Amino acid sequence: MPDNLRLAVFLISILLFVVIFVILIKGRMPLKFALVWLIPAFLILLVSVLPNWLMHMTEFLGFQTLSNMIIGMLFVFVIFVCISLTIIISGQKIKITLLIQELSILKNKIEDLEKKERGE
């Protein structure tokens, strides 16, 4: 791995860490979800510091080139992120439905009570 590339990868991983920490400090993302991004940031850092294990892994998995393996891994990672996002969205949808239902039932109750008060 050329030194220029290692430096670039190193800087990118640092940038990722900084961005995620800023988001965390501002309280715009809970740690649970930030972990999804902190783990790959750490992996990228690892690549720039110790590039050799990537070569071994490329050989072991049977990829022709290192770049092929990285793109393949990234693709798998993105799919996992998408699935986890779908799960989160589905959970939120259930909660929103619950809120709409309970709020609507409450509204109906209040309106009934108001009608009774007015003596209708």
Partner 1 sequence: MRILLIIPAYNEEKNILSVYRSIVKYNEEHQTNYDVIVINDCSKDSTSEILNMNNIPHIDLIHNLGIGGAVQTGYKYALAHGYDIAVQYDGDGQHDINYVKNIILPICDGKADFVIGSRFIDDKTSSFKSSIFRRAGITLISVLIKLVTGKTVKDTTSGFRAVNKTIIQLFSESYPVEYPEPITTTELLRKNFILEEVPVAMHERTGGKSSITPFKSFYYMINVILNILVVRFRRYPHAR
CB 115 → partner 1: shortest distance, Å? 9
CB 112 → partner 1: shortest distance, Å? 9
Q: Return the residue matching tokens 């110790």.
A: 50
Three-state SS sequence of 11-22: HHHHHHHHHHHH
65 touches 37 (CB < 8 A): no
Of residues 84 and 104, the one with the C-beta less far from partner 1: 104
Of residues 78 and 100, the one with the C-beta less far from partner 1: 100
Interface residues toward partner 1, by CB under 8 A: 93, 97, 100-105, 107-108
Q: How many CB atoms lie within 10 A of CB 43?
A: 13
CB 85 → partner 1: shortest distance, Å? 19
CB 75 → partner 1: shortest distance, Å? 26
Return d(Cα 8, Cα 15) in angstroms, integer: 10
Q: Return the residue matching tokens 């791995």.
A: 1
Of residues 25 and 89, the one with the C-beta less far from partner 1: 89
* Residue 52 in tokens: 């050799």
